[in-house]
Amino acid sequence: MSASETIHVDGVWLPAASGDTREVLDPADATIIQLVAEGGAQDADAAVAAAARAFDGGAGVWPRTPVAERAALLRRVADLLQRDREEIALIESRDTGKTLEEGRVDVDDVTNAFRYFADVVTNESGGRVVDAGSADVHSVVVHEPVGVCALITPWNYPLLQASWKIAPALAAGNTFVIKPSEVTPLSTVHLIRLLVAAGLPAGVANLVTGAGVPVGARLAEHPDVDLFSFTGGLVSGTKAGQAAVAGAKKIALELGGKNPNVVFADACATEEGFDTAVDQALNAAFIHSGQVCSAGARLIIEESVRDRFVTELARRAERIKLGRGTEDGVECGPLVSQQQLDKVEAYVASALAEGARLRCGGARPEPSEVRPATGYFYPPTVLDGCHREMTVVREETFGPILTVETFTTEDEAVALANDTEYGLAGAVFSADTARARRVAARLRHGTVWINDYHPYLPQAEWGGFGKSGIGRELGPTGLDEYRESKHIYENLRPAPVRWFAG
């Protein structure tokens, strides 16, 4: 297998049908990591055909594989992920720019996702008995796999997002075609290799590397795809979702967020509370250089503590060690691409033009031994004096930009936090438990943290309100996205109905 044979169809690693390749770059210095196959519509068609055969053709053994065997395979994959933990973390760090430690955390989270869905399907009952009101009727609702699933994943957490789709899809008995982002495909290629090594039958897992157009677009519209699951940007996701809906497919869309981090003054009443709230605000905004769909990019802070809080926040943000993610001591890596760097610079420029006040960051850093001049580095940036009319406050920037808004009352805090077309995640920091829970209940966001930011659990659903998407990943609902419900009604004492006299 050559480095550019990254298309996996029916158990075989292949180059693109066109022979085209794409360079995958290291964002720390813009050097080439690897050439990968640049697939097209023909490759997507071949992958869907293989998945369809593996689902309900002559080779369609996976949907009929006993649940215990499917779960055992997922657990073998989890073990292999831990075996290759350091190798995968390095792949993810070099491909996305994140630190090695973040890459290790990702591998552990992926491992937990595979083990969780293995446990869920193992512990389920055979179906839900429905009382039909008669001893002569046996009525039960069962779950069956949807069929062929098309899975589209983003560039920021390629391995993690792949696992959130692949693990429940396989647990439910589906086959799939996955298209990772063309910017960061390498860890997904490795994951498919682990699925093969774990014993997954040929054709169940198929991979096409390539661009959203034509590969993703073809998967969205393909008549033999039964479910379309997309994680990515609002514009491209909406367009792909429309194409999928036109074919009456089941769809699941996770389209990002613009997430509020609400800090009440009472959270800062003690030195420990103040330190914790500042620290968590940094984590919320600047983990993975802010390239996180749930990043707490909007700090909404009570006016009475704003000056002290933002001053300390900016001081600490300036001290974050920016550099190549594989270097010891680096806390924040580069942005993923030149395109993303240009986008972040444009957002900061627009914010300053609209009246925001720069507290730190705001310009590319000087090159250093751990920050090559050719890398896509941008420092943590804090913009004070922001308001909802600013573009940088309304739109998802996907970069290390933290905007600051203020409030004076609880109602005002809630109104600001909910004043977004998105609704993925948010947080409330308060020493008043009743207030924190009250505000959390009023926030229109799919995940709300209280006195914390970013942790998630594979057993808890993930997804958003509003334009953050449709459907949920993780948790029992995340498994149900990949299944159809079937009602089986059995008459135990069949007899003529005599509805018609003749």
Confidence band for 61, pLDDT divided at 50, 70 and 90: confident
pLDDT value at position 126? 81
Number of residues assigned to the chain: 502
Catalytic residue among 38, 92, 102, 254: 254
Helix (H) or strand (E) holding 145: strand 137-145
Model pTM? 0.96
- 254 labelled catalytic: yes
Helix (H) or strand (E) holding 315: helix 306-318
**Pick from 156, 91, 160: which is nearest to 326 by CA?**
91
Q: Where are the alpha helices (DSSP H) in 226-286?
A: 234-246, 271-286
pLDDT digits (tens, 9 = 90+) for 387-399: 999 999 999 999 9
Could you tell me if 453 and 145 are in contact, meaning their C-beta atoms sit under 8 angstroms apart?
Answer: no
| pLDDT greater than 70 at residue 1 | no
* Mean pLDDT across the chain: 97
Confidence band for 59, pLDDT divided at 50, 70 and 90: low
pLDDT digits (tens, 9 = 90+) for 9-36: 999 999 999 999 999 999 999 999 999 9
Catalytic residue among 92, 149, 221, 293: 293
Of 400 and 3, the one with more pLDDT: 400
pLDDT value at position 125? 83
pLDDT digits (tens, 9 = 90+) for 150-193: 999 999 999 999 999 999 999 999 999 999 999 999 999 999 99
pLDDT value at position 31? 98
- 293 labelled catalytic: yes
Confidence band for 386, pLDDT divided at 50, 70 and 90: very high
3-state secondary structure 301-348: EEHHHHHHHHHHHHHHHHCCCECCCCCCCCCECCCCCHHHHHHHHHHH
